[in-house]
A = this chain, B = another copy of it.
Amino acid sequence: MAVSERISAPRRRGVTAMDVATAAGVSQSAVSRSFTPGASVAPVTRARVLEVAQELGYRPNLIARSLITRRSGMIGVAIGNLRNQIYPVMLEKLAEGLSAQGYRILLFTAPLDGDADPELAQIMRYQPDAVVLAATSMSSALALECRAASVPVVLFNRMARGAAGSEISSVTGANHDGGRAIGRLIGAAGHQRPAFIAGHALASTSIDREAGYRAGLQEAGLPPPLVTHGNFHERDTREAAAALLQRQDQPDAVFAASDQMAIVAMDVARHRFGLRVPEDVSIIGFDDAPAASWPSYDLTSYAQPAAAMVAATIELLLERIGEPHVAPRQIVVPGRLVLRGSARLPPGIVRDADNQ
């Protein structure tokens, strides 16, 4: 194999960019640009340079380079909730997409829907080219400071709270539309007593999904939902689900603000209350996380397309690196209702098929 041949050959510490340029038949500047994220260089040239560099064992010192180029090639990513299956999926796609653009992820964990400011202050010390915050948020003050320091920030699956909302770029699913579609589905299928298991009280996703849900229920002529709080947290969700299901006027349809919570609610309904899903109670989630299609749950959910959301995030990042004062954009990626077996269906409507 070429790789092991290269490695077992004598170690060449002294290989320079000029050696690579000569061997590849390109300019030294082309070698430099080939190793600089986002720099302009023909793909065929970059491929040739990388191939020759690998053959010769050339490795630019990116750290030293970053002091000159002011590009570290790193994107700081803070994630508030890796337990929700959608975030590992997103992280994997984001790492792959950024890698294709020459960027690497510097990973931080942040409080779930808390204030990521302290972590973010740490991230900034590594001179990232941009920052992504997933399932967490930041203060307006720090957002402005990042802007002053020319470090673009993109929120993933959250919108900034309050006045900062239009000042910070974000990528979200169609939270209001999705909630509304679920409210209308519940009405059309003849349910009478809707409920909602909310996420963290400060999470824009949960707030927007609930608002859409209320609108959809109202359009269907149903009363507002009973609401309990699962806080995107397993134990809290077990208690929230039990609080709903032990009522005299037990709900006949429960929408949880994430699949993670819907799955917990379904297990509580079946295994603690002995209820049949969906005959006794319909359960619906949001995300279309991997577990939603597992046959034991077969969860009706509003799909957030991870690939499209990650692509939009990378688009926002690349647009802003080098041009940090481009106006903020809030991208809403449309999703779709995935009808499975956990919720009763309106007359004449058939479920979606999974490729099992």
Contacts and interface: CB of A to CB of B under 8 A. Distances in A.
Number of copies: 2
A127 to B, nearest CB: 5
Interface string A26-50: 0000000000000000000000000
Nearest to A54: B121
Interface string A251-275: 0000000000001101100111000
A26 B324 CA distance: 38
A13 B122 CA distance: 16
A122 B127 CA distance: 19
Most buried by B among A59, A89, A144: A59
A64 B83 CA distance: 35
A96 interface: yes
A297 B54 CA distance: 48
Contacts of A291: 291
B87 A266 contact: no
A272 B296 CA distance: 11
Contacts of A73: 126
Most buried by B among A63, A72, A95: A63
Q: Is the interface of A mostly helix, strand, loop or mixed?
A: helix
Nearest to A66: B63
Interface residues of A, number: 65
Given A4-B141, A104-B107, A109-B96, A83 B88 contact: yes
A199 to B, nearest CB: 18
A356 interface: yes
A67 B66 CA distance: 11
Given A82-B91, A96-B109, A107-B104, A126 B54 contact: no
Interface of A: 3-4, 7-8, 11, 54, 59-64, 66-67, 72-74, 77, 82-83, 85, 87-89, 91-92, 95-96, 99, 104-109, 115, 117-118, 121-122, 124-127, 139, 141-142, 144-145, 148, 238, 263-264, 266-267, 270-272, 290-291, 294-297, 356
A88 B95 contact: no
Nearest to A5: B141
A156 to B, nearest CB: 15
Nearest to A238: B356
B295 A125 contact: no
A300 to B, nearest CB: 16
A121 B59 contact: yes
A290 B89 contact: no
A141 B106 contact: no
